[in-house]
Amino acid sequence: MVNSEEFAKRLQIIMEYYDISAAAFADAIQVGRSSISHILSGRNKPSLDFVLKIVETYPQVELYWLLNGKGSFPPSASQQDIKISPPPVVRQNLPAEENVVEKAVKSKSTAGNVIKRIVIFYTDGSFEAFEN
């Protein structure tokens, strides 16, 4: 039987390793954001579907470690050549005719903000980061 409190701690470790928020994690594994919140707070226990979505989306996460805390995460240097980035979050229902990035940049720039970092995610799971 899975200890919900310990599972929540391991879930937090995964999010910290990939440096993503609970909302981004929920989007990446395609579950509702409230599902993550309820599991982290101990209100709900993770379903089998939830667990399988994590290990399918993040193949570096070992199922046995996730469920029982036995094994290792993050993978040691001998288990991987480089730290694999999390899969990109795919946003749906964006208007195709609008340049969403340009619109966001204009709205932020007029407020006196400066772009600090831009990250481009490719469909093969790789990414490029550009910092100002």
Per-residue pLDDT reduced to its tens digit, 5-16 = 899 999 999 999
The CA–CA distances, whole Å, from 35 to 8, 65, 96, 111 equal 12, 20, 29, 34
Residue bearing the bigger pLDDT, 128 or 1? 128
Contacts of 118 (CB under 8 A, 6+ apart): 129, 130
Average pLDDT of the chain? 79
Residue 54: pLDDT over 90: yes
- Per-domain residue ranges for the chain? 4-79
> Which of these, 53, 50, 28, lies nearest to 40 by C-alpha position?
50
| Beta bridge partner(s), residue 129 | 119
- Residue 55's pLDDT is 93
Per-residue pLDDT reduced to its tens digit, 86-118 = 555 555 555 554 565 666 666 665 666 777 778
- Residue 85's pLDDT is 54
Q: How confident is the model at residue 56 (pLDDT cuts 50, 70, 90)?
A: very high
Token digits of residue 103: 């619109």
Q: How confident is the model at residue 82 (pLDDT cuts 50, 70, 90)?
A: very low
- Residue 118's pLDDT is 80
Domain 4-79: give its CATH architecture.
Orthogonal Bundle (1.10)
Report the alpha-carbon distance of residue 18 to residue 87 in Å, rounded: 10
CB 55 within 8 A of CB 63: yes
